[in-house]
């Protein structure tokens, strides 16, 4: 596996997801075949005798049939278990008292020197960040970030505990031992490490039954979020600088839920259950389902585990997925999850093409080309090197076996891939097999990503710049060129940009909640890597201790690291207050002072980036916050169609007098006290939405006024037109009436409402859906 190609990894795990879910369903012709099923039984409450009895009775029923059936028991954060069951047994258990859902154990997929420095200067107001304003008087914090991923490489310098104080006394976790991992691998930074065995027996005894990372993904994520500052970090000289996590003072707890075979739902639920008991403050998950296989709430391990974590005050941050740019591809979109899209930073990796006419064409790639810097190598267009047995179109696009080796040997091949399904790496294989010495791939599909091609001289050229190369080839009988090795380019503009791969809204779970929530750097991010990686090492080099990879997987830890910093500064804040602070302080302007765009060049919308690009200073002092409480989430469960009996089983904090509204409907979801607003406008002349904000600013007495940005044809009325906070009035509500002169919406429309007191700007994006 190429360590740098996160999108290939994503596709690999998508396939595993399909195979895993299919396998989990069992053989339709064999109801006695044993598969792993998750039995979810809602809240775990040691004081509730009825809940305890239901759990015990169902579990004993399973164990009486087969004492070896139990895979994992959930009892800390919620109730249930995973067990080997036949399809018939699973169906029978689903009807037992206290059981919310029974579903096959799914396999989910895995979805920085410069990034934090870039974010530091992406701001719209000056915020007081003097040392005594932030809890950073020491080099350590008692805030604990839990990472559910592929494990950890504990020897990485990013996890040094130098200068850190004692482990927080409230920590109840452990450092699990294995053949290659013991308690000495944990320290005052890495305070806990757990792993979860594969119940199917697919795991490798040496490679997977350990907290140690054998993939690299988890190490990369953890160091991005809370890694210690490490000087002179780079990837073979590229992206050189000091690597640091977003909250380098925070502690780290690692839960290895992913192996080389994917990320099992039973392990993910087990990690949530343990993390709740261990005492983490923030959870970070750079993994999830694929859009086509996304389960509903009661059968989604991440949504279920996150609900119980948030109910106990733990903020859960998840990646949005890598299935963009198609709409409705965002995953991990439950309202209690902070869902993160990806964006670029102001650093690029260029591998340019120098033509024989002394003209340089910009390319994007990571390669360590051994070619001369002089344009002295013959160049040929794929179409001109057509093999006898193939078509012009296949040769032009460098499909497998499409090139004539006699025409290609010793030459740089130009391949057209503007509308082609074959990747650059696959085309490299075709060119190398035919004896070519380099590849210029003309395509816009890679967007902002600079992919890794090792020692082979390969680069990606946009279709616009590709015209220059093709004109040169056609202008001479002896075209020559060279491909330069990659150079790091800083202060690249425009940035941020939303890349093609980042999954888009609207949410398929509910269009009345705007998803994703926020965007963060996720393109070509440098962070720590496993120390035994021997793949794709350039000739004559030692394996790098860092890697550059892309994905919403890399965006997620930027936000979870920021959340850890916000929690450090404001230790009493709820999970939703931290989420609100991050969302309402986001920006929508790039480093050209223009609106943020997508890879295609169009202006980005909240379906691309949620509230916008995260900022690292304003979120520490947001002024106002929207607190989404448990009642909001319980109402949400009612609004999506769950009955009160099921809601009471799921949640441990349902008030005795709580009941689902008689007129429950999905439209009521718009009134959940969320930091953004989404309204279904179909068949309506006007819609009224309410919100409540809490003053967390330094001023007890202050007034906020609204500024509305509304799309054409839509009237937005905010009542009252001023929020006057006092020492005794910290919480105030307001209403928004959306009305339209349009007979019907032809497309979803976007706008925003920003409350400001001259110091703070608290912005909520809104969308009106057709």
Residue 441's domain is classified under what CATH number? 3.50.30.30
Specify the pLDDT at position 129.
40
Is the pLDDT at 4 greater than 80, yes or no? Answer: no
Q: Which of 5-9, 82-86, 446-450, 575-579 has the highest mean pLDDT?
A: 575-579
Using 50, 70 and 90 to split pLDDT, how confident is the model at 30?
low
- Range 696-709 average pLDDT: 94
Looking at 217, 220, 308, 441, which residue is catalytic?
Answer: 217
CATH of the domain at 259: 3.40.50.200
Contacts of 729 (CB under 8 A, 6+ apart): none
Decide: 583 and 518 in contact? Cβ < 8 Å: yes
pLDDT at 117: 62
Residue 136 has pLDDT above 60, yes or no: no
51 and 157 housed in the same domain: no
Which of the listed residues 108, 140, 171 is the one where a domain comes to its end? 108
81-85, 190-194, 195-199: segment of lowest average pLDDT: 195-199
- Residue 13 pLDDT greater than 70, yes or no: no
Residue 419 is predicted with a pLDDT of 72
Q: Which residues constitute the domain of residue 751?
A: 661-769
**Burial grade of 686 (CB within 10 A; 0-12, 13-18, 19 or more):** exposed
Determine, yes or no, domain membership for 361: yes
Between 713 and 582, whose confidence is greater? 582
pLDDT in tens, 527-536: 999 998 877 8
Q: Indicate which residue of 553, 617, 651, 752 is catalytic.
A: 553
The values of phi and psi at residue 153, to 5°, are -105, 95
* pLDDT of the residue at 698: 87
Does the structure show a pLDDT above 70 at 379? yes
Share of the chain above pLDDT 90, in %: 77
Residue 506 CB partners (closer than 8 Å, separation 6+): 327, 328, 330, 514, 515, 607, 678, 748, 767, 769
In a domain, 412, yes or no: yes
Which range among 10-19, 119-128, 143-152, 734-743 shows the weakest confidence by mean pLDDT?
A: 10-19
Over range 40-65, report the average pLDDT: 82
Work out the end-to-end distance of the chain between its first and last CA atoms, rounded to an integer number of angstroms: 43
- Residue 473's CB: how many other CB atoms inside 10 A? 17
DSSP 739-752: EESSSS-SS-EEEE
665 included as an active-site residue:
no
Same structural domain for residues 226 and 85? no
Q: How confident is the model at residue 581 (pLDDT cuts 50, 70, 90)?
A: very high
CA angle 384/387/391 to nearest 5° reads: 80
451 is catalytic: no
Nearest of 612, 349, 594, 585 to residue 498 by alpha carbon: 612
For the question of residue 217 being annotated catalytic, the response is yes
Hey, is 51 helix, strand or coil? helix
* H/E run at residue 13: helix 6-24
164 and 251, same domain (yes or no): yes
pLDDT score of 137 more than 90 = no
pLDDT at 480: 97
More reliable by pLDDT, 488 or 538: 488
Same domain flag for 127 and 84 = no
pLDDT for 140 beyond 90: no
Is residue 490 in some structural domain? no
State the pLDDT at residue 28: 44
How would DSSP label each residue in 575-609? HHHHHHHHHHT-B-B-TTSSB-EETTSSBP-HHHH
Task: Tell me, yes or no, whether 22 lies in a domain.
Answer: no
Contact 611, 587 (CB under 8 A): no
Instruction: State how far the alpha carbon of 684 is from the alpha carbons of 147, 671, 688, 740, in Å.
Output: 44, 16, 11, 9
> Residue 211 pLDDT more than 60?
yes
SS (H, E, C) 282-312: EEEECEECCHHHCCCHHHCHHHHHHHHHHHC
pLDDT at 127: 41
What's the mean per-residue pLDDT of the chain?
90
**The predicted structure's pLDDT at residue 118:** 61
Long-range contact pairs involving 639-645 (C-beta distance under 8 Å, separation at least 24): 639/664, 639/665, 639/666, 639/668, 639/669, 640/297, 640/509, 640/510, 640/666, 640/669, 642/298
Percent of the chain clearing pLDDT 70 (strictly above): 90
Per-residue pLDDT at 669 exceeds 80: yes
The pLDDT tens digits of the residues spanning 395-411 come to: 999 999 999 999 999 99
Q: How much is the pLDDT for 120?
A: 62
Q: How many domains does the chain have?
A: 4
Please give the Cα distance from 36 to 70 (Å, whole number).
9
User: Per-residue pLDDT averaged across 126-131, rounded?
Assistant: 40
Of 149, 281, 352, 632, the active-site residue reads: 149
Residue 542 in any domain: the answer is yes
What pLDDT is recorded for position 171? 98
- What value does the mean pLDDT take over residues 647-665? 88
Query: Does residue 653 form part of some domain?
Result: no
- CA 61 and chain centroid, separation: 39
């Amino acid at each position: 596996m190429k360590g740098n190609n996160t999108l290939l990894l994503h596709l690999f795990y998508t396939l595993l997801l399909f195979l895993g879910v299919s396998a989990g369903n069992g053989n339709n012709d064999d109801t006695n075949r044993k598969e792993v099923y998750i039995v979810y039984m809602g809240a775990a409450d040691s004081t509730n005798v009825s809940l305890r009895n239901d759990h015990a009775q169902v579990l004993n029923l399973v164990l009486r049939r087969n004492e070896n059936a139990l895979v994992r028991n959930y009892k800390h954060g919620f109730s249930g278990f995973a067990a080997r069951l036949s399809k018939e047994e699973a169906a029978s258990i689903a009807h037992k008292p206290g059981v919310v859902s029974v579903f096959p154990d799914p396999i989910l997929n895995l979805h920085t020197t410069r990034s934090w420095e870039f974010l530091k200067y992406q701001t719209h107001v000056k915020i007081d960040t003097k040392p005594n304003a932030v809890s950073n008087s020491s080099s350590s914090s008692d805030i604990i970030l839990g990472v559910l991923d592929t494990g950890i490489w504990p020897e990485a310098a990013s996890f040094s505990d130098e200068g850190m104080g004692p482990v927080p006394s409230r920590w109840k976790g452990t450092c699990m031992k294995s053949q290659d991992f013991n308690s000495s691998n944990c320290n005052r930074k890495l305070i806990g490490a757990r792993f979860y065995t594969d119940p199917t027996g697919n795991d490798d005894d040496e490679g997977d039954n350990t907290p140690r990372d054998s993939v690299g993904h988890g190490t990369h994520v953890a160091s991005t979020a809370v890694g210690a500052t490490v000087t002179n970090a780079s990837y073979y000289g590229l992206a050189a600088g000091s690597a640091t996590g977003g909250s380098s003072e925070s502690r780290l707890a690692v839960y290895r839920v992913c192996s080389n075979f994917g990320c099992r739902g039973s392990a993910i639920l087990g990690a949530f259950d343990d993390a709740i008991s261990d005492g983490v403050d923030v959870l970070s998950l750079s993994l999830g389902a694929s859009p086509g296989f996304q389960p509903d709430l009661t059968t989604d391990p991440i949504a279920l585990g996150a609900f119980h974590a948030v109910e106990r005050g733990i903020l859960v941050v998840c990646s949005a997925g890598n299935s963009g740019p198609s709409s409705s591809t965002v995953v991990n979109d439950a309202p209690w999850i902070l869902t993160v899209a990806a964006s670029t930073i102001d650093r690029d990796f260029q591998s340019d093409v120098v033509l024989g006419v002394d003209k340089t064409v910009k390319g994007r790639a990571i390669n360590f080309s051994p070619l001369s810097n002089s344009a002295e190598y013959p160049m040929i267009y794929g179409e001109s090197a057509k093999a006898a047995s193939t078509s012009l179109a296949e040769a032009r696009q460098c499909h497998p076996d499409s090139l004539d080796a006699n025409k290609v040997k010793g030459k740089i091949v130009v391949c057209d891939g503007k509308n082609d399904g074959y990747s650059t790496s696959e085309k490299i294989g075709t060119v190398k097999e035919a004896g070519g010495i380099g590849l210029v791939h003309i395509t816009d599909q890679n967007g902002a990503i600079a992919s890794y091609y090792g020692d082979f001289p390969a680069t990606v050229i946009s279709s616009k710049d590709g015209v220059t190369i093709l004109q040169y080839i056609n202008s001479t009988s002896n075209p020559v060129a060279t491909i330069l090795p990659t150079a790091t380019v800083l202060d690249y503009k425009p940035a941020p940009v939303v890349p093609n791969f980042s999954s888009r809204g609207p949410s398929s779970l509910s269009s009345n909640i705007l998803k994703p929530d926020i965007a963060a750097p996720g393109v070509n991010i440098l962070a720590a890597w496993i120390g035994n990686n021997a793949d794709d090492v350039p000739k004559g080099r030692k394996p790098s201790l860092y890697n550059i990879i892309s994905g919403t997987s890399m965006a997620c830890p930027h936000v979870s690291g920021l959340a850890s910093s916000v929690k450090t500064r404001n230790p009493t804040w709820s999970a939703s207050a931290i989420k609100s602070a991050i969302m309402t302080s986001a920006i929508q302007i790039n480093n050209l002072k223009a609106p943020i765009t997508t890879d295609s060049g169009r202006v980005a919308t909240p379906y691309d980036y949620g509230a916008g690009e995260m900022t690292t200073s304003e979120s520490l002092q947001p002024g106002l916050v929207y607190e989404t409480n448990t009642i909001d989430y319980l109402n949400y469960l009612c609004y999506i169609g769950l009955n009160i009996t099921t809601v009471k089983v799921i949640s441990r904090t349902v008030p005795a007098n709580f009941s689902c509204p008689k007129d429950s409907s999905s439209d009521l979801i718009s009134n959940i006290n969320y930091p953004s607003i989404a309204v279904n406008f179909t068949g309506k002349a006007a819609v009224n939405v309410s919100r409540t904000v809490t003053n967390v600013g330094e001023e007890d007495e202050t007034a906020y006024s609204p500024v509305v940005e509304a799309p054409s044809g839509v009237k937005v009325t905010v009542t009252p037109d001023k929020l006057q906070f006092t020492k005794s009035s910290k919480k105030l509500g307001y209403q928004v009436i959306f009305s339209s002169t349009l007979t019907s919406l032809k497309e979803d429309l976007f706008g925003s409402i920003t409350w400001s007191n001259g110091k703070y700007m608290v912005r909520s994006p809104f969308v009106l859906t057709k």
